[in-house]
Structure 1
Amino acid sequence: MFDVLVYLYENYWRPDACPDHDQLSRKLTAVGFETDEIQEALHWLDGLADTSQGYTGVQSDDAIRLYSDREIESLGETSVGFVTFLESAGVLPPPMREMVIDRAMAAGGNPLDLDDMKIIILMVFWSLGEEPDALILDELFVAPEERLIH
C-alpha cells in the first residue's frame, strides 16, 4: 500500500488531480502494482479524504494529547516520538496530528514502521494541499547518516 501512496504523491500534485478510482486502478495496474495493494491504498485514501473534509485547523493551544495503550502498541514508540517531535517543532498542528494518528491506526502495523509513518504524514499534508517546508521534507526522507551537519 505504501508504495502506491508514494507513487500518487510523486505523480499527482494534489488529491483532486487524481482520476476516479476505476481509472486510477487501471493506471496503477499498468504501472505494475498488485490489485490487492491498489484496493488497500484506495480504501485508505477514501478514509483520508473523509478525515480531510473535517479538518478545521483549530484546536486549543493548551490541549495535551495522551496516547492510549492501543495507539502506542499500534503506532510504536518510535512513531509516537516522531509525531510528538513534529508537533513540538510547530510543524504538525494538533488537528493534523489527529489526522495522522487516525490514518496510521487505519494502516495497521503493530508497531507501524517509522518510514511508513513518514509516508502517512506526507500524505496528510498532500490531502490538505499543503507543502511541508524543505526542512520537514529533509526530516521525512533523508536518512540521519546522510545529513550534512554544518
Structure 2
Amino acid sequence: MFDILMYLFENYIHSDVEVMVDHEELTSELTRAGFRHDEISKALSWLEGLADLQDSDRHPYLISSDAISTRVFTAEESKRLDAECRGFLMFLESIQVLDMETREMVIDRVMELDIECIDLEDLKWVVLMVLFNVPGREGAYSQMEDLVFEVNEGFLH
C-alpha cells in the first residue's frame, strides 16, 4: 500500500500533474502499473482518510489543546513508531514544521498503514503527504521538503 501512496504522490501530487478524481480510471492506471486491487483499494481509502481529517467536527482530537501539554504515545503507536521516529516528530514540532494538529494527523495516517514498524524515511514521506493536504501549511511543507531532499555536502567536523 505504501508503494502505491508513494507512486501517487510522486506522479501526481508532487509533480504538479492534475490529480484524477475518477476512482475507476485511477484504479485502472494503478493496475496497469502492476499494483494489486486490494492494495489499491487500501491506498485510496488511506487518502480518503487523510482528506477526512480536515473535518475537526468528526475528529475532535485534532482541535488544539493546551500548548504546554505533552504527547504520550500508546503502546501500539510506540511499536509502529520507534524512538527515532518519535524523536523526529518532536523535532518537527520544535522547529514548527508540525503543530499539534498536524502531528496527530501524521500519527493517525501512520497507524492506518499496513506497516508493522515505519522507518524514518517513510515517516518523512507521510509527513510530506499530510502537510501537502493541509491548507495554510505551505511554508511547513516547503521546510519539510528541504528535510526530505536534504543532501549532506561536505564533512561535519
TM-score over 0.5 (shorter chain): yes
Asked if 1:48 corresponds to 2:50, the answer is: yes
1:2–1:119 contact (8 Å) kept in structure 2: no
Cα pair 1:57 1:96 within 8 Å, conserved: no
CA distance in 2, matches of 1:82, 1:18: 32
Are 1:140 and 2:140 an aligned pair?
no
Q: Indicate the residue corresponding to 1:20 in structure 2.
A: 22
List alignment gaps of at least 5 residues for structure 1.
none
Which residue identity does 2:97 align to in structure 1? V
Match of 2:10 in 1: 10
Structure ranking higher in helix proportion: 1
Contact 1:9–1:126, Cα closer than 8 Å, also in 2: no
User: What do residues 21-71 of structure 1 show as CA deviations (whole Å, max 9, x unaligned)?
Assistant: 222111212233232321221121122121133387744322321112221
Counterpart residue number, 2:128:
122
Q: Determine the structure 2 residue equivalent to 1:96.
A: 102
**Aligned partner of residue 9 in structure 1, secondary structure:** helix
Within 2, Cα distance between the matches of 1:46 and 1:111? 22
Relative to structure 1, the CA distance from residue 23 to residue 92 in structure 2 (aligned partners, 3 Å threshold; closer, same or farther) is: same
For the residues of structure 2 that align with 1:28 and 1:70, how far apart are their CA atoms? Answer: 31
Matched, 1:65 2:67: no
Which of 1 and 2 has higher RCO (CA within 8 Å, sep 6+)? 1
The aligned amino acid for 2:78 is I
| Contact 2:128–2:144 (CA under 8 A) maintained in structure 1 | no
Q: Distance in 2 between the 1:34 and 1:79 partners?
A: 29
State the alpha-carbon separation in 1 of the partners of residues 21 and 153 from structure 2: 39
Q: 1:108 to 1:88 in 2, by over 3 A?
A: farther
The amino acid of 2:48's aligned partner reads D
Calculate the TM-score normalised by the size of structure 2.
0.77
Q: Which runs of 5+ in 2 are unaligned?
A: none
Partner of 2:33: 31
